[in-house]
Amino acid sequence: MNAEELAGTIQEALEEGRTAAAPEALEAIRVKYLGRKGLLPRVMKGLKDADPSERAQLGKLANQLKQELGKLLGARKQELSGASGADAANFDYTLPGQWRQLGTRHPISRVIEDTAEIFARLGFTVAEGPDVETGYRNFEALNTPPHHPSLDAQDTFWLESGELLRTQTSPVQIRVMETQPPPVRVITPGRCYRRDTTDATHSANFHQIEGLYVDKCVSLADLKGTMAYFARELMGPSVGVRFRPHFFPFTEPSVECDFSCHVCGGKGCSVCKHSGWIEIAGAGMVDPRVFKRVGYDPAGVTGYAFGMGVERIAMVKYGIKDIRMLYDNDVRFLKQFK
Amino acid sequence: MKLPVSWLADYVDFDLSPEEVAEKLTFSGTEVESIDVIGGDYEGIVVGEILRIDPHPSADRLQLCLVSDGSRELPVVCGAMNFEIGDKAPLAVVGVELPGGMKIKKARIRGEESEGMLCAEDELGLSDDHTGIMLLPREIKTGTPFSEVIGPPETVLNLEVTWNRSDCLSIIGMARELAALLRTDLKIPTPEISESEARTSDGISVTIDAEDLCPRYAARLLDNVQLAPSPMWMQRRLSLCGVRPINNIVDVTNYVMLECGHPLHAFDYALVGDKKIIVRRAVDGESIATLDGQDRPITGETLLIADARHPVAIAGVMGGAGSEIGENTASVLLESAAFDPASIRRTSSQLGLSTESSHRFERGVDPEGVEWASNRAASLMAQLGGGDVAAGIVDVYPGCPGERKVVVRFDSTRRLLGADISDDCMVDILNSLCLTVTSRDESSCTVLVPTFRRDIEIEADLIEEIVRVYGVAQINESVPVSHVVPGASDMPFQMAKACRADLVGLGLSETMNYSFVSAQLLDSCCKYDADSRVVLPNPVSAEHAVMRNSLVPQMVETLGRNLSRQIQETAFFEMGKVFLKKESGEIHEEDRLCMGFMGPLGRTCLDKRRPIDKEEPFLWLKGAIEALILAKGQGQVESVAVEHPYYEAGSSVSVSIGGCKAGFMGLLREDIRRKWRMQTPVAIGELALDTVVLARNAVPELTQISMYPSISRDVAMVVPESATHEDITRIMRDSAPAELTAIELFDIFRTEGLGQGKKSLAYSLEFRSLDRNLTDEDANKYHETIKAALKKELGAEIRDS
Ligand SMILES: [Zn+2]
């Protein structure tokens, strides 16, 4: 063995010593390199036959092997023979972890927060208002015609005070416009109430998110672009959006906005009732009569507004079959919204 | 609304499949919700003639019939009763499969042979009608294939007509839409009537007493009417639209209503008293028996059609039974009128009675359409019923709508839509919708709004018309651009969101409950707050009759419901509004945060079986509240013992955060939790969300950290039970110098050896100076001072370690 080979072997020996994981392995290394029949005695014995030019070098290396490896093995032996080493066999790393688990956000909160976050990127801030509203802000200010079905006492919770439980979050838009000159960019999440009999898809108490953007030159093309952006951010990059003309008293022109079904990719399935599309939002350009009521100049500003049901989005996005699950608060259901 | 495609084709030419028509209508604003194909090939089903009817010997509800299929006579057992000998009906013989999949087999029904079946409409897939077998006109030859009688399968589009488009509640209205979309002509038939010598005005007078509610009322008379079933083609169209055929006169009124959207009513002229029609408001106490057999009391604002003595119809909603067209009807008074939409809507909702007629009137019908509808119906009645149409119409028309013109500016339209639509294109679209452009210049055009489009009032209405025909899909999506609105802030939302995130981080799961609860649930927690409750005057159910005045009762319910599903351990929070009625009657809304702890939450999994001590859940919840506040705030959380109806006596506190009252927490009253079968103590807290989020909004104030080592000393002491941890730590802090940097409780025990009413507590104290190395002598000195203070103020017995 020449000096170069020996130097390499020493490095190997030290490496083995460093990585050995049990006292038995350390002993085997000691026997292999330093033992009576190990490498060291063999090197020492070979010294006298070695090339005189290498002899001194080999002697030095042999000494290094003895010193360094001996010291390393000694230190490692102490390490491994400590308390943990002795108990290694009793260590069960498969026992349950011991740290408090996180709780979960309610799916309705998730949808509201996620939506607010998406619109925050576009410069929208959240505006909130009371659940108990005036009939004026809930209906008239929103240009609801006097004999529109939504005015039916049967559909609205009127209170003794003459106020009502808002049937939509649009009154918040009115509040914002009443107190702030244009431009306006708000998103208004909140709780609404309608006298619906509760079933798998209806709840007398539900949540809406509406949005309002008013500025000098807002167009239907902007509304389309914004809804498409929102759809992709909320449901995934492949989701498509389509618009159908519709009627809402608050906006004109009005559209309904469908998202392509994220479950079947638009091919048709039970979630989208085999149409490939899911109705998500109502939207449109704010009716000039609404601007007039809040004191905005209809000749100077335009705007779009949109509204959607939070429960519906949660049901579509998470595949919840029955709206009542959202208010049942079974921890086994809630815990799934991580 | 149901739209049979073949009927639509009467008024507009198109070369489109039903699916293509549906697509066009959906994307121009009238959504087609579904497409139904009604009918079938009806192979093997023929017109059968009933030759004999005998009662079934062993079943009252069955009859034995002998039916001819044109070549053979077959025994048929039938469960219907609506026929007699000589009647004809669809007969399915053995081997035939009905549209529903049912196969006719030779059978013995309660012992009697049956070789076929007489079919009801629902069994043939024609309608939902199962009131009896489908009777066919007797003149059809026995044995004729049923498919020849009923015609080929029909496609029906189910439309959702938007509320503003009353003009679309008819076949012609939808034809007008399709014609505009295809830029083709609309073909409206011109009614042809040959009038008799008798003059309508001699036979009837019309007075409108309530002109505000009835802008127009037109009456026509027909004599010598032969009442009979309508021809098959008309019956078929009616049933495709969901209207049950009755007789040729009533069917014509319905047919014309479906055709043009204008509801009509036919009275038996002989039963209209004194040849007078008076349109008036009801008098209190009046009532009328309506066609559906009900006696209906009428209130003051209801618009009635009356004769000289009695009401004969509830205007626009339903006719009266007293003047109904019946077997003996020989002459007909035909009403064609327009009524005030709001009035009809009110009446319909008051009576809980919605009809095809009220559905249209409450959305508005065109007074200008009255005459066409009357003429069209008279012409069809004469054609089908052989009646003589009296000359002229008695037409009272006090409310003629004025001419309305609306201007639309080309540039504003392009700007609002964000689309480059040419002026010509806009004008073309408007004209195609019968919104006739009467004049135009380079910047705008003026539209004469037809009377059937009263929904069009301002420019935006016309822009909507333009874009829905142009196609919303044709407008490019613009990439949204972010803009900061100066001064806009949503801190409350953001702070609540951060609070929610921290609660989740602390291991609590969020729940959400309705804003309304049952009075019973509130009572079960506290009976004495009824004055502050907001009670709904018109709740949907007793379960949801009162607005919640606290989040606690529902938290209890939620924990209890989970426990009933064997969930033993859970930590919940809810953020939501409560509603409190002030003495003034005003309603105050407040955002609250409620937390509820059930089970051995604070224990490790190896330590959960040990019984839960009363203090434990309380301290876990207290710890969670402190952690929540201290996560982002600096306000001290302070508790003061108070009694509260939700909580066990002596186990509840009022919580202040940074000196502000925030709410209460404690151990849920035992009798409440026992109702929910909760065996172990449950901790619940409710805080004002504002106080919590504001306390969490502190800007961090940094304190210098010491670079010198600390020295620690322990103090163990025996004190009376009345001495609290707070007392002890306060005394320590008050007596010690600023070098006392931490106090940590590490042991509590009670033994008999200590004596009754005593406990032992042990604390570890940490001393550290900001500017020097403390010596053991320093620490000993502080230690002694603290011990002396404890002895003096609490009578503590210091245990030497
Ligand atoms: Zn799908």
The CA dihedral of A174, A177, A180, A182, to the nearest 10 degrees, is 160
Q: How far is B508 from chain A (nearest CA, A)?
A: 4
A128 interfacial to chain B (CB closer than 8 Å): yes
Contacts of A242 in chain B (CB under 8 A): 473
Inter-chain touch A327–B514, beta carbons under 8 Å: yes
The CA–CA distances, whole Å, from B380 to A234, B257, B387, B608 equal 57, 13, 10, 85
Cβ(B407)–Cβ(B448) below 8 Å: no
Cβ(B667)–Cβ(B680) below 8 Å: no
Q: How far is CA B675 from the centre of its chain?
A: 34
Per the DSSP assignment, residues forming a β-bridge with A256 are A244, A282
Burial class (CB in 10 A: 0-12, 13-18, 19+), A89: exposed
Question: What spacing in Å lies between the alpha carbon of A259 and ligand 1's midpoint?
Answer: 10
Contacts of B507 in chain A (CB under 8 A): 100-103
On the question of pLDDT at A95 being above 90, the answer is no
**Per-residue model confidence as pLDDT tens digits over B496-514:** 999 999 999 999 999 999 9
Q: How far is B730 from chain A (nearest CA, A)?
A: 31
Domain boundaries, given as residue ranges, for chain A = 3-89, 107-334
Provide the chain A residues 275-334 that lie in CB contact (below 8 A) with chain B: 285, 287-289, 302, 326-332, 334
Please tell me the distance from the alpha carbon of residue B168 to that of residue B665, in angstroms, as a whole number.
60
In CATH terms, is domain A107-334 a member of 3.30.930.10? Answer: yes
Question: What spacing in Å lies between the alpha carbon of A260 and ligand 1's midpoint?
Answer: 8
Question: What is the DSSP secondary structure assignment for residue B256, as one 8-state letter?
Answer: H
In a mutagenesis test of the A interface, which of B493, B581, B582 is the best target, namely the one with the most A β-carbons within 10 Å?
A: B493
Please tell me the distance from the alpha carbon of residue A137 to that of residue A157, in angstroms, as a whole number.
15
The vertex-B713 CA angle with B711 and B714, nearest 5°, equals 155
Reading the block at residue B33, the tokens are 């919700």
Q: Buried b / exposed e across A262-286, counting CB within 10 Å, b at 16+?
A: beeebeeeeebeeebbbbbbbbbbb
Provide the chain A residues 172-231 that lie in CB contact (below 8 A) with chain B: 180, 183-186, 189, 191, 193, 195-198, 203-205, 215, 217, 219-222, 224-226, 228-229
**Which residue in chain B has the smallest CA separation from A194?**
B540
Please tell me the distance from the alpha carbon of residue B764 to that of residue B282, in angstroms, as a whole number.
88
Inter-chain touch B586–A154, beta carbons under 8 Å: no
On the question of a cis peptide bond just before residue A253, with omega within 30 degrees of 0, the verdict is: yes
Q: In what order do the strands lie in the sheet with B154-160?
A: B2-4, B154-160, B31-38
Inter-chain touch B482–A127, beta carbons under 8 Å: no
Instruction: For residue B629, report the phi and psi dihedrals to the nearest 5 degrees.
Output: -70, -45
Question: What is the DSSP secondary structure assignment for residue B537, as one 8-state letter?
Answer: S
Q: Which residues contact B427 (CB under 8 A, 6 or more apart)?
A: B437, B440, B445
Q: How far is CA B516 from the centre of its chain?
A: 17
Cβ(B394)–Cβ(B205) below 8 Å: yes
If you write DSSP's letter for every residue of B425-487 in order, what string do you get?
HHHHHHHHTT-EEEEE-SSEEEEEE-TT-TT--SHHHHHHHHHHHH-GGGSPPPPP-----TT
Reading the block at residue A111, the tokens are 């949808």
pTM higher than the cut 0.90: no
**Which residue in chain A has the smallest CA separation from B475?**
A221
**Which residue in chain A has the smallest CA separation from B565?**
A330
Given this model, what pLDDT does residue B106 score? 82
Inter-chain touch B488–A125, beta carbons under 8 Å: yes
Reading the block at residue B740, the tokens are 């006392």
Question: What spacing in Å lies between the alpha carbon of A278 and ligand 1's midpoint?
Answer: 8
Q: How far is A80 from chain B (nearest CA, A)?
A: 29
Higher pLDDT, B742 or A272: B742
pLDDT-derived band at A44 (thresholds 50, 70, 90) equals confident
On the question of pLDDT at A83 being above 70, the answer is no
Please tell me the distance from the alpha carbon of residue B242 to that of residue B255, in angstroms, as a whole number.
11
Higher pLDDT, B604 or A88: B604
Q: Return the H-helix or E-strand segment holding A300.
A: none
Q: Are strands B195-199 and B388-391 parallel, antiparallel or unpaired?
A: parallel
In a mutagenesis test of the B interface, which of A167, A212, A220 is the best target, namely the one with the most B β-carbons within 10 Å?
A: A220
Q: Which residues contact A41 (CB under 8 A, 6 or more apart)?
A: none
Is the predicted ipTM greater than 0.95, yes or no? no
**Which residue in chain B has the smallest CA separation from A304?**
B416
Given this model, what pLDDT does residue A82 score? 63
Question: What spacing in Å lies between the alpha carbon of B180 and ligand 1's midpoint?
Answer: 32
Given this model, what pLDDT does residue A27 score? 86
Mean pLDDT for A226-231 is 96
All residue ranges of chain B with pLDDT < 50 are none
Amino acid at A116: A
Residue B117's nearest CA partner among B170, B177, B48 is: B48
Residue A44 three-state SS:
helix
In a mutagenesis test of the A interface, which of B27, B169, B467, B477 is the best target, namely the one with the most A β-carbons within 10 Å?
A: B477
- What is the number of other CB atoms lying within 10 angstroms of the CB of residue A313? 25
First to last CA, chain A: 63
Residue B249's nearest CA partner among B387, B342, B381, B86 is: B381
Question: What spacing in Å lies between the alpha carbon of A170 and ligand 1's midpoint?
Answer: 30
Cβ(A187)–Cβ(A209) below 8 Å: yes
Inter-chain touch B163–A102, beta carbons under 8 Å: no
Please tell me the distance from the alpha carbon of residue B290 to that of residue B313, in angstroms, as a whole number.
7
